[in-house]
């Protein structure tokens, strides 16, 4: 149970001091997931590049950087954050389907490990950026391996027909082109099949296809150094990540002994269990047969339930009365889709009581917005049995309009 990382007494103290809604993270839980990966992949010695999109808050990224991990970034903003958090530039990779010329130049000036390009036109933009900077851009291509990861359609990315990557035949042409260019250096190949993938089988399938393709490339004189298997390993809401040993076995079975450096881009599996969203109960009400708990956190703070139908376990903090019954925890935002949990089995909450929404460390704060002009939540990191620190202050009304002019 994740509650072992988040003691009720400490949560109460944090809420009293910082207010709600607040994202609360556990350093111990974050490092535990990192350790689980390290252990499972020990024999393979991969480069782990933490996928910052899952949670790009500086203090959490700094934890991953201090463990020797690299970063997978998908925008100039994430690259900026990665450098600020202390990731070594030579361990940063740049993914994403629509990088701008400016972002590519920024990446090259920063000396990152490689760019995962996703189209012919992006390869040409990267070449132009490198020519302008009089350098050679380390290039990897994101290849669409046409593998079904059996996950939610919004987070399934490795099937032909998705906007991601290039098919193998196009990749072959692009590598041959890059090999001839004075401003491109083909160094790697990547796939990322999706997120919340609970079986190693689609990875094995994609890795097998990639390895065969890399052999074909080698026979044409293009020898790559990095095989990047992306992220996406699953983590069930309410628990820690599932054992990645089968993933290590699948990838080791294909790439082990080839001399290729394996790269992995885990995000959710590291960050999700390490965070919860702490809110307070504002009001209780009934609507037909439904029992509603109106909390002070909303879909602008945590959009996953509304966007993906994600089911985050929720629990009342502190003594509760009455019998457990299915209740919907909803927020103040003017949308029927604004719920944090539906039919959560909860005892009777009191007004002002704290409620914790677990498994919110990934794609929680990083996807949050100011919708309904709600200042974004504060973020806190629990650093020891009774110690914690504020790692991002709550936004103010002034923050809402700081970039505007009338
Ligand atoms: C290219 C790439 N790498 C890594 C990830 C991280 O996936 P996850 O958070 O499921 O591990 C994503 C997620 O969308 C991605 O698009």
* Structural domains of the chain, ranges and CATH numbers in brackets: 2-7+273-401 (2.40.37.10), 27-271 (3.20.20.10)
Decide: 22 in ligand 1 pocket, CB within 6 A.
no
Decide: 103 in ligand 1 pocket, CB within 6 A.
no
Each residue's pLDDT tens digit, 386-402: 999 999 999 999 999 99
Instruction: Say which residues have a Cβ less than 8 Å from residue 169's Cβ, sequence separation at least 6.
Output: none
Each residue's pLDDT tens digit, 31-54: 999 999 999 999 999 999 999 999
Task: Ligand 1, residue 116: give the atom nearest the CA.
Answer: 1
Per-residue model confidence (pLDDT) at position 259:
95
- Helix (H) or strand (E) segment spanning residue 14: helix 8-18
d(CA 26, ligand 1 centre) in Å: 21
Give the β-pairing of 388-392 and 378-382.
Answer: antiparallel
Decide: 361 in ligand 1 pocket, CB within 6 A.
no
d(CA 265, ligand 1 centre) in Å: 6
Output phi, psi for 67, to 5 deg. Answer: -85, 5
Instruction: List the catalytic residue out of 323, 334, 402, 403.
Output: 334
- Helix (H) or strand (E) segment spanning residue 304: helix 304-308
Q: Which residues of 217-228 are buried (b: 16+ CB within 10 A; e: fewer)?
A: beeeeeebbbbb
Decide: 158 in ligand 1 pocket, CB within 6 A.
no
Per-residue model confidence (pLDDT) at position 155:
63
Decide: 33 in ligand 1 pocket, CB within 6 A.
no
Residue with tokens 């935002």: 333
Q: At what angle do helices 76-85 and 58-66 cross, to 10 degrees?
A: 60
- Residue minimizing CA distance to atom 12 of ligand 1: 231
Question: What whole-number percentage of the chain has pLDDT above 90?
Answer: 92
Mean pLDDT, residues 307-319: 94
Identify the bridge partners of residue 341 per DSSP, sorted by sequence position: 329
**In sequence order, which ranges of 159-200 are alpha helices (DSSP H)?**
168-180
Active site residue 334: yes
- Helix (H) or strand (E) segment spanning residue 189: strand 184-190
Per-residue model confidence (pLDDT) at position 159:
67
């Amino acid at each position: 149970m994740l509650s072992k990382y988040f003691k009720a007494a400490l949560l109460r103290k944090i809420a009293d001091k910082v207010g709600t809604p607040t994202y609360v993270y556990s350093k111990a839980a974050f490092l535990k997931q990192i350790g689980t990966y390290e252990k499972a992949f020990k024999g393979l010695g991969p480069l782990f590049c933490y996928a910052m999109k899952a949670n790009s808050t500086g203090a959490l990224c700094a934890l991953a950087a201090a463990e020797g991990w690299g970063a997978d970034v998908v925008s100039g903003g994430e690259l900026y954050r990665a450098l600020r958090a202390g990731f070594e530039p030579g361990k940063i990779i740049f993914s994403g389907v629509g990088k701008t010329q400016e972002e590519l130049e920024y990446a090259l000036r920063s000396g990152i490990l490689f760019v995962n390009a996703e189209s012919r036109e992006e390869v040409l933009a990267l070449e132009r950026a490198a020519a302008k900077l009089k350098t050679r851009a380390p290039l990897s291509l994101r290849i669409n391996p046409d593998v079904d990861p059996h996950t939610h359609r919004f987070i399934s990315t490795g099937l032909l027909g998705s906007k991601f990557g290039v098919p193998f035949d196009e990749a072959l042409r692009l590598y041959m082109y890059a090999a001839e260019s004075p401003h491109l250096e083909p160094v790697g190949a990547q796939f990322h099949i999706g997120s919340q993938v609970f079986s190693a089988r689609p990875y094995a399938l994609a890795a097998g296809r990639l390895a065969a393709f890399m052999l074909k490339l080698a026979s044409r004189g293009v020898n790559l150094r990095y095989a990047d298997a992306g992220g996406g390993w699953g983590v069930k809401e309410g628990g820690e990540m599932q054992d990645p040993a089968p993933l290590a076995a699948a990838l080791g079975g294909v790439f082990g002994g080839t001399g290729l450096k394996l790269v992995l881009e885990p995000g959710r599996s590291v960050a999700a269990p390490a965070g919860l969203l702490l809110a307070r109960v504002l009001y209780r009400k009934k609507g037909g047969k439904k029992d509603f708990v109106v909390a002070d956190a909303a879909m602008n703070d945590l959009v996953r339930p509304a966007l993906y139908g994600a089911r985050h376990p929720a629990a009342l903090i502190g003594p509760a009365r009455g019998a457990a019954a299915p209740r919907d925890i909803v927020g103040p935002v003017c949308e029927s889709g604004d719920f944090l949990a539906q039919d959560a089995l909860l005892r009777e909450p009191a007004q002002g009581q704290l409620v914790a929404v677990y498994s919110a460390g990934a794609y929680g704060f990083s996807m949050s917005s100011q919708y309904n002009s709600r200042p974004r939540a504060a973020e806190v990191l629990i650093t020891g049995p009774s110690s914690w620190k504020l790692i991002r202050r709550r936004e103010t009304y002034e923050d809402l309009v700081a970039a505007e002019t009338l």
